[in-house]
Amino acid sequence: MTRCGKESRFGRREEKEKMCGTETSTEKSRRWESFGGKDESMRLQIESRSRNEEFARVVVAAFASRLDPTLMEIDDLKTAVSEAVTNAVIHGYGGGDGVIYIEASICGRELTVTIRDDGVGIPDIPKAMEPMFTTDRTGERSGMGFAFMEAFMDQVEVRSEVGRGTTVTMKKQMGG
């Protein structure tokens, strides 16, 4: 039985239990004790500005550091968070005003991070996730944002509704 508490808004309980099941019960109880018996989570709300991209990835990395990750895992996480936040700034809000909501939680050795915007949304998610696809016309964007998230995280899920916004949920096992 998992001790990872509440059902996530972004995943059904069964999925979460399955994802958390890889840790042995001894490891899990040791970690559980060290956390004072609670799942840990954080929330961050920032204005949609490019200068906040670094702030967001550093905060999430600092939160994830309690999983005792390797330097490489932390760098991977920072890159993935940067991609999602940059997407929200450039595409979600088109460089204009808006708020970006970031949530992260730890369940066993698994970090889940969610980056949400209330921006324009994505009409065709599979298309948007194709490597090299970009709506940018300056020729300056690589179109590799989602490909990078997928390369550097274990799992990436994108939900979006046109006119309502986009939510990216990413998971990664850390500190093995």
User: What is the bridge-based pairing of β-strands 40-47 and 165-173?
Assistant: unpaired
Nearer to another protein, 20 or 151 (CB): 151
How many residues sit close enough to another protein to count as binding (CB under 8 A)?
28
Catalytic annotation on 87? yes
Q: Is 143 in the site for another protein (CB under 8 A)?
A: yes
83 is an active site residue = yes
> Distances from the Cα of 134 to the Cαs of 13, 35, 46, 90, 114, in angstroms?
34, 42, 25, 11, 22
Closer residue to another protein in complex, CB, 90/100: 90
Which entry of 49, 66, 141, 159 is annotated as an active-site residue? Answer: 141
Considering only residues 23, 79, 99, 133, which one is a binding residue for another protein as defined by CB under 8 A? 79
- Applying CB under 8 A, the span of 50-58, 98-106, 156-164, 166-174 interacting with another protein comes to 50-58
Interface with another protein, residue 172, by CB under 8 A: no
110, 176 contact by CB (below 8 A): no
Please report whether residue 45 would count as binding another protein according to CB under 8 A.
no
Report the alpha-carbon distance of residue 167 to residue 57 in Å, rounded: 16
**Measured torsion, CA atoms of residues 112, 14, 36, 78, in degrees rounded to the nearest 10:** -10
The identity of residue 61, as a single letter, is A
Decide: residue 20, CB within 10 A, 0-12 exposed, 13-18 middle, 19+ buried.
middle
Residue of 53, 73, 83, 103 marked catalytic: 83
**Contact status: 55 vs another protein (CB under 8 A):** yes
141 tagged catalytic? yes
- Strands 165-173, 99-107: pairing kind: unpaired
Catalytic residues: 83, 87, 141
Give the binding site for another protein (CB under 8 A).
50-51, 53-55, 57, 71-72, 75, 78-79, 82-83, 86, 89-90, 138-145, 147-148, 151-152
